[in-house]
Every structure is written in structure tokens, then in C-alpha cells.
């Protein structure tokens, strides 16, 4: 009887240890929790060309708390500081888009958007303004995604978030 109880106790402890190990493995591979979601979408009824690639980026607050987002997006030359685009041709070939870098601005000129729970902020951009002329997108199919990364500002979201991927067809030069 004592032996049966000891075996049962050993089995229970082993099961608990295995469950904890599996849970830790799952949690360590989970995506980091972030208060923002970034979505990428096309603009309806648009004919996409190498010089006209309007896209909509949507920030959504998916947390319970208010989130401030630095709003320094009006200058297309500043966009690569905050956004990295992943563009692949239909055959899988990567289209290189330079990005990152640093930017200098006065704290007095920083503007923010405050998003409450489930609030969204849309940003329309023309990807053709960011793509260098030597890498201009030609006719064909593309898969595009974007990452937002920020290290600037006070009391605002800092970090990196990635969007969904979209398919896009360029029909003209």
C-alpha cells in the first residue's frame, strides 16, 4: 500500500513537472505581448503602378490602457526611420528597400496620437515615395509586409511590431 502511494505521488509529480515544462516551452515561443497591432491593406479601387502604390497602415490599440504613438509620419523621407518594408516579387526575389537610420527633431515639435482601447489610427502612404528609383516596382505580383519600430518620444509606444502580409499587383510602370 505504501509502495502504491509512493508510485502514485511520483507519477503525479512527474506529470506536474512535464506540464510546467511544456507550458514554459509554449510561452517562450509565443509572440511578445504588445499594446499595438499593425495592419497593412491596399486602397480599394486603385490601379497600382510603379509610381502609384498607396497603402493603408492601421495602428490599433489592443490593450486595456491608453497608448500614445509618436506621430511623425507627414514627411515621406522620415518614414524609413519608423517603417521597414519587406517586399518580395512573385518569384520570391526580395526587393531591397533601404531603411532605418536616425532622425533629429526638437522635443517641442513632437506630436502624439493617443489611442484608447480598440481605437484605430490610419496612415496613408505611397510606397513609391519610399522605394528608390533604381528599385522601382515593375509590372507583376508582389507580397508586402511592414514593421513599425520606434525609439523616440516620451511616454509613448517604443518597440517593434509587424503587420500582416498583403498581395499586390502592379499593372503599369
**Domains of the chain: total:** 2
Residues 81 and 23 in one domain: no
Residues 138 and 88 in one domain: yes
CATH number at residue 102: 2.60.40.2970
pLDDT, tens digit (0-9, with 9 covering 90-100), for 14-54: 544 444 444 445 444 555 588 999 999 999 999 999 999 99
56 is in which domain, residue-wise? 36-170
Residues 65 and 146 in one domain: yes
Residues 93 and 134 in one domain: yes
Residue that wins the pLDDT comparison between 140 and 172:
140
Residues 62 and 145 in one domain: yes
Residues 26 and 42 in one domain: no
Residues 93 and 17 in one domain: no
Helix (H) or strand (E) holding 8: helix 2-29
Residues 135 and 166 in one domain: yes
Per-position b or e across 106-120, b if 16+ CB within 10 A of its CB: eeeeeebbebeeeee
Residues 98 and 13 in one domain: no
- Among the residue ranges 23-32, 60-69, 106-115, the one predicted with the least confidence is 23-32
Residues 48 and 16 in one domain: no
Residues 26 and 106 in one domain: no
pLDDT, tens digit (0-9, with 9 covering 90-100), for 116-167: 999 999 999 999 988 887 788 999 999 999 999 998 888 999 999 999 999 9
User: 150, 140, 147, 139: which is closest to 163 by C-alpha?
Assistant: 147
Q: Which residue has the cell 500500500?
A: 1
Does the pTM surpass 0.85? The reply is no
Residues 42 and 77 in one domain: yes
CB atoms within 10 A of CB 70: 19
Amino acid at each position: 500500500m505504501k509502495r502504491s502511494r509512493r508510485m502514485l505521488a511520483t507519477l503525479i509529480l512527474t506529470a506536474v513537472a512535464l506540464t510546467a515544462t511544456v507550458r514554459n516551452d509554449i510561452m517562450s515561443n509565443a509572440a511578445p505581448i504588445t499594446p499595438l497591432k499593425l495592419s497593412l491593406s491596399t486602397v480599394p479601387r486603385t490601379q497600382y503602378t510603379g509610381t502609384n502604390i498607396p497603402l493603408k497602415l492601421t495602428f490599433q490599440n489592443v490593450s486595456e490602457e491608453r497608448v500614445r504613438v509618436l506621430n511623425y509620419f507627414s514627411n515621406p523621407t522620415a518614414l524609413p526611420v519608423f517603417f521597414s518594408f519587406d517586399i518580395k516579387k512573385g518569384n520570391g526575389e526580395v526587393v531591397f528597400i533601404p531603411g532605418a537610420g536616425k532622425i533629429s527633431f526638437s522635443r517641442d515639435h513632437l506630436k502624439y496620437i493617443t489611442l484608447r482601447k480598440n481605437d484605430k489610427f490610419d496612415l496613408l502612404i505611397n510606397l513609391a515615395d519610399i522605394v528608390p528609383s533604381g528599385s522601382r516596382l515593375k509590372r507583376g505580383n508582389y507580397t508586402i509586409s511592414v514593421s513599425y519600430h520606434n525609439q523616440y518620444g516620451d511616454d509613448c509606444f517604443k518597440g517593434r511590431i509587424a503587420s500582416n502580409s498583403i498581395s499586390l499587383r502592379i499593372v503599369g510602370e
